[in-house]
Amino acid sequence: MEELESKNFIDKNFIYAVVGATNNQEKYGYKVLMDLKNKGFNVVPVNPKYQEVAGLTCYPALISLEERPDVVVLVLGEENAKKIVQNCIDSTLNKIWFQPGSEYDEAVALAQSAGFNIVTGKCIMEETKDINEISQPAFSG
């Protein structure tokens, strides 16, 4: 496992699965999804409670995505975070961004033991704050 610099997770060509996406505008699942979407990133909401989030088709699970995401962004509670990390192991997805509040010890340890590349302790919205408009390029790692 390697905790990579966050810039290695930021690329406009990547597909970001935002797990825990929601239509509740007060929650970070919505804020993270919309922030990345408004900056021109390719985002896919994942939450079994919704069929659509912010006008985008929402998928019930990572396994149901039409395209394999490059980065899984977790905006979840503890029990769900562990389940999603296990789903990533089963699906051979290997880049997980643990949003603040989703960095539960057991989930992070599981990701580390599986050899995942992870980001912890950083907010993806903050790390992409210099990308204000869709036309601006993202970092190239």
Query: Residues 80-123: pLDDT tens digits?
Result: 998 999 888 888 788 999 999 999 999 999 999 999 999 999 99
- pLDDT band, residue 3 (cuts 50/70/90): low
Amino acid at 101: G
Could you tell me if 36 and 43 are in contact, meaning their C-beta atoms sit under 8 angstroms apart? yes
- In this predicted model, what pLDDT tens digit does every residue of 39-72 receive, in sequence order? 999 999 999 999 999 999 999 999 999 999 999 9
Per-residue pLDDT, 95: 93
44 Cβ contact list (under 8 Å, min separation 6): 15, 16, 17, 18, 56, 57, 59, 65, 67, 69
**What are the chain's domains?**
2-127 (3.40.50.720)
Could you tell me if 126 and 7 are in contact, meaning their C-beta atoms sit under 8 angstroms apart? no
